[in-house]
Amino acid sequence: MKKVLHLQMLPVMYGAQRFSLHLLESLSKDEFEIWVASKPGGEFVQEVKDRDYNYIPLPTFRHQICLWDLLTFVHLLYIFKKHSFDIVHTNGSKPGFLGRLAARICKIPLIIHTSHGFSFQDNQNPIVYRFFKLAEKIGNSLGDYTVFVNNSDRFNGIGLGLIKPEKALTIYNALPSKFNNELQDIAKNRKEAQQEVIIGSTLRYSTQKNVINLITASCNACLSEPKLKFIYLGDGEYYDLCQAIIHSYNLEQRILLVGWDKNVLPWLKIFNVFVLYSLWEAMPFSIIEAMSSGLAIIISDIPPLSELVDKQTGYIVPLNNNAELVNTFVEIARDPKNAYKKGQLAAIKINELCNYETMVSSYRNLYRSTKPETARKNND
C-alpha cells in the first residue's frame, strides 16, 4: 500500500482544498493510505477528519513569507523522515516550494505538485515578480511532475523556462459524480428568466476577484435596467467596502451580499446567469459548478477562463472595462432568452471538458508511475 500525503497551507475551503478532497475520495483505501497536512483549524481540516484521513497539523504555516517558514520547513523534514511517504503531493505556491524541497532532501520516491495558478502576477512589484518566478522554477526542478489545471499556465510555464516539457501535464479540475449529477438535474429543470433577471456569483471579496469593479458595474447596470438583480455569495477583506458602495447607490434591495454559504445548489437554481470577472484565475470550481447547472457565464477576458467559456456558452468582457461589463449586464436583462440558450450549451460543454473520471484516472496514472515519460504516455 502506498502512503500519499497531500500538502496544503490554509485550512479553508478554497479551490485547492476542494481539489484535494475531490481527488482523495476517489482513491482506493486498499491501494493508498491517505494523509493530509495543513495549518490547523478551519472547515477543510474538519472535512479531512470527517473522512477519516490521517491528519498532520502544521501550526507555523503562514500565508505571507516570514521567518515562520523556516520552522515549517524543519517540521516538514521531520514529518517526511518519520512517515516515509511514497508520494508527496503539494498544492499551492508556498507548500509547493517548501514541500518539494523537503521531499527531495528526504528522498521521497514520487513528488507531484498541482499548480492552482502562478504566484507571480503582472501587477506586482518587479522585484517581487522575479522572486516568485524564480521560486516557481526552483520548485518545478525539485519535483517529478507539475500538473497544471489549464493549458494556458502550462504553455506559459514552459515558454518562460520555468519547467521542462516532459514534467508538465494538464489535468482539468472536475466535480465528483454525485454532486455533478445534482447540478445536471438543475440544468434540465432550468427555466428562462421572466420578470427579473438574477445575475449571481460565489467568490471571495478580494483583489483577485476584482470585486470593486464588479460591484460598481452592478450598481450602474441596475440604474440602467430595472429588471436586473444581483446576488453575490462569499466573504473576504473587501466585503464591508462593497456593502458601502451598494449603500451609496441605495441599491441594497437589488444587489444582495448574502455572505458565505457552502451549499451553493439552492442559489444556482435561482440564478439566471453567473459572473466571475477576475484579474487572474486557474480553474475555478465556481464556474464548473455554474456551467454544469446550465448557467451562461460572464467572464473577464483572461486565457484560463477562455478555455472554459466561449461566445456560445457565455459572455467574454475585456478586463477592467467597466462600461462593457455594464453593457453586458443590460444586454442580458433585455435578451434573457439568449442567455438561457447559452446556459444549456454551457452544461453540455463543461461535462465533456471537466470529466471526473478523466481527472481521477489521470492522477492515478501519476501515483502509480515512477518516471515522467511513463506517466505522460498514460495520460495522453
Q: What pLDDT band is residue 122 in, cutting at 50, 70 and 90?
A: confident
Average pLDDT, the chain: 95
The reply to whether 159 and 262 lie within a common domain is no
Taken in order 265, 269, 271, 274, the sign of the CA dihedral is positive
The reply to whether 327 and 188 lie within a common domain is yes
Name the strand (E) or helix (H) holding 277: none
The reply to whether 126 and 170 lie within a common domain is yes
The reply to whether 240 and 149 lie within a common domain is no
The reply to whether 327 and 230 lie within a common domain is yes
The reply to whether 26 and 159 lie within a common domain is yes
Domain containing residue 276:
177-353
Residues 6+ apart with CB under 8 A from 82: none
The distance of Cα 292 from the centroid of its chain, to the nearest Å, equals 15
Q: What pLDDT band is residue 124 in, cutting at 50, 70 and 90?
A: confident
The reply to whether 121 and 40 lie within a common domain is yes
Q: Which of 100-109, 282-291, 363-372 has the weakest average pLDDT?
A: 363-372
Residues 6+ apart with CB under 8 A from 366: 110, 112, 145, 147, 169, 375, 379
The enclosing domain of 295 has a CATH number of 3.40.50.2000
pLDDT tens across 318-364, in order? Answer: 998 999 999 999 999 999 999 999 999 999 999 999 999 999 999 99
Average pLDDT over residues 207-233: 97
pLDDT tens across 278-322, in order? Answer: 999 999 999 999 999 999 999 999 999 999 999 999 999 999 899
pLDDT computed for residue 380 by the predictor? 45
Q: CA 201, CA 149: separation in Å to the nearest integer? A: 21
Q: CA 349, CA 331: separation in Å to the nearest integer? A: 23
Within 10 A of 236 (CB to CB), how many other CB atoms are there? 16
The reply to whether 111 and 183 lie within a common domain is no
pTM over 0.85: yes
Contact (Cβ atoms closer than 8 angstroms) between residue 271 and residue 290? yes
pLDDT computed for residue 371 by the predictor? 52
pLDDT computed for residue 378 by the predictor? 45
If one counts the domains in the chain, the total is: 2
pLDDT computed for residue 374 by the predictor? 44
The reply to whether 103 and 117 lie within a common domain is yes
The reply to whether 93 and 198 lie within a common domain is no
Q: What pLDDT band is residue 121 in, cutting at 50, 70 and 90?
A: confident
The reply to whether 117 and 238 lie within a common domain is no
The reply to whether 160 and 256 lie within a common domain is no
